[in-house]
């Protein structure tokens, strides 16, 4: 099906911003914008045939000018945290913005990819966003970046990332959409049944930087290999949870081989929606929305703590500073290319 377009307001510089709409034959609708390559709306039927928007966000582009929670955002060139906001490549040290205690989070809150205007080209039920990033934010290399959103008739939101750099650089992108499988304006996600197909995770220290250990989930509140409600243990008096106010950790995909595989499943029992997550990446960050600050979202909805959850596919946090973590250095001899799929069943 063809993609339709409509005005979504103007950015901070007065540029026109566009909202692109994709529909499939089963009643799903996905809407994305060239401001930040953001997923704005995702309408999905439930078991009774009723359709709800299940992602948190804003009605107009100006809501995304702040967007401290990164609703729907394409994060780049690096997602998640980097210890002490610095890293080295071939002995050269690179300093990034210190924006999360003493660390770096999501590259840059002001000029990260979620705040850029992207060029857009529409295809068959897909939108390809592209930008050129010329050595900004402290990251080396001029990067040619593309993010493609596609809505399939198999009820998949497929997000593909590509990047080429003329120098060795750090690339580890993700999508930061918050899902609530009841509706974006529903109660917190405590009753969502979560399954993460991983037998290990990466514990953290204060500031949410991994210790470097790859720890077993067996016998811990991090064992989601069988479905468990998000709210069952999220408030438990456990140091790992208290450090980040709930779940905000990276799980290590079992038997990672770079091929596409199912890594997580979320089910909401009342509406009957299920979301499956597939990726070819080695990690997935489950963030339970612990730190969403109260604010007004789409349709006047009141968003707050745990209004939605994120499942961010990625290499591990601070991988660039850990030899035993995945290699996140790309450049002239190594292209960045990865795909993540969010598939819906009702």
Task: Please list the active-site residues.
Answer: 176, 312
Q: Find tokens 């809501």 and name the residue.
A: 63
List of residues 6+ apart from 151 with CB closer than 8 A: 22, 23, 24, 28, 29, 30, 125, 126, 157, 158
Residue with the two structure tokens 């989930």 = 217
Question: How many whole angstroms from its chain centre is CA 261?
Answer: 17
Residue with tokens 């049944």: 193
**Distance (Å, whole) CA 144 – CA 340:** 19
Give the Cα separation of 294 and 134 in Å (integer): 35
Burial of residue 279 (number of CB atoms within 10 Å: 0-12, 13-18, 19+): buried
Longest dimension (CA), the chain: 59
């Amino acid at each position: 099906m063809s993609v339709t377009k409509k005005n979504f307001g103007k950015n901070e510089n007065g540029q026109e911003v566009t909202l692109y709409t994709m529909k499939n034959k089963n009643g799903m609708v996905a809407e994305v914008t060239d401001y930040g390559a953001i997923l704005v709306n995702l309408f999905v039927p439930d078991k009774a045939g009723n359709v709800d928007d299940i992602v948190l966000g804003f009605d107009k582009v100006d809501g995304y000018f702040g967007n401290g929670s990164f609703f729907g955002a394409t994060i780049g060139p690096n997602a998640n945290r980097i210890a002490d906001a610095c890293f080295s490549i071939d002995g050269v040290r690179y300093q990034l913005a210190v924006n999360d205690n003493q660390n770096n989070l999501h590259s840059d809150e002001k000029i990260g990819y979620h705040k850029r205007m992207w060029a857009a080209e529409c295809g068959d039920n897909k939108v390809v966003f592209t930008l050129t990033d010329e050595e900004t934010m402290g990251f080396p290399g001029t990067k040619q970046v593309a993010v493609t959103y596609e809505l399939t008739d198999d009820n998949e939101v497929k997000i593909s990332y590509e990047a080429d750099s003329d120098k060795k650089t750090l690339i580890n992108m993700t999508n930061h959409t918050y899902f609530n499988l009841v509706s974006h304006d529903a109660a917190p996600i405590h009753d969502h049944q979560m399954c993460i197909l991983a037998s290990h995770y990466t514990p953290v220290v204060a500031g949410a930087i991994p210790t470097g250990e790859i720890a077993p989930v067996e016998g811990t509140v991090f064992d989601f290999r069988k479905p468990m409600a998000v709210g069952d243990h999220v408030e438990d008096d456990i140091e790992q949870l208290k450090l980040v106010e709930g779940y905000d950790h990276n799980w290590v995909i079992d038997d990672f081989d770079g091929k596409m595989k199912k890594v997580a499943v979320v089910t909401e029992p009342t509406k009957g929606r299920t979301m499956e997550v597939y990726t070819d990446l080695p990690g997935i960050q489950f963030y339970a929305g612990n730190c969403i600050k109260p604010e007004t979202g789409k349709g006047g909805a009141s968003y707050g703590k745990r209004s939605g959850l994120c499942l961010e596919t990625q290499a591990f946090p601070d991988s660039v500073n850990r030899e035993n973590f995945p290699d996140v250095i790309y450049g002239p001899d190594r292209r960045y290319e990865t795909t993540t799929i969010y598939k819906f069943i009702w």
